[in-house]
Amino acid sequence: MSTTQAMRYLDQRRIEYEAREYEHREKGAEPAAEALDWPVEATIKTLVTVFIDRSINLVLMPGDQELSLKSLARAAGVKQAAMAPESLAERFTGYQVGSISPFGTRRILPVWMHKSLLDHETVGINGGRRGLILFLKPSAVRDALDARVADLGA
């Protein structure tokens, strides 16, 4: 298994994780969870958003929930939030859509994390390429990224 930028990021910080590969057929948390026989609610999807001031943010959501852009904007104290276009997401993260990891992004971006993710003992999150999920403690995800935690569900 080749090391990704996300894995290097965690290794440099001595954060424990388990890497598991699967046959990638379509992007999304649900297909990844199914392929790895892992609960979708404990599988994180990494979304890229943009605020009205044009700042780019990452949002970590459970695979079975939709992001409420209104809740995100309210939590951030801004008037409006929107999903970033794929080209912008790829340019700011350095990852291809469908393989975006919050670890080791091209630019350091603010991270928001849905509060329910902290209810799990272990979560799965994209490892920086399609077909690779990293499993670690949700508190380690939060702490490594200095993520702000809020109720961001629709």
pTM of the predicted model as reported, rounded to 2 decimal places: 0.95
Domain range 5-150, CATH architecture? Alpha-Beta Complex (3.90)
Q: How far is C-alpha 72 from the geometric centre of its chain's CA atoms?
A: 15
Q: What is the DSSP string of 51-85?
A: ETT--EEEEEEETTS-B-HHHHHHHHT-S-EEEPP
Taking the domains of the chain in order of start, what are their residue ranges? 5-150
Give the model's pLDDT for residue 10.
97
pLDDT digits (tens, 9 = 90+) for 94-120: 999 888 999 999 999 999 999 999 999
Q: Are 73 and 125 in contact (CB under 8 A)?
A: no
pLDDT band at 12 (very low <50, low <70, confident <90, very high): very high
pLDDT digits (tens, 9 = 90+) for 56-78: 999 999 999 999 999 999 999 99
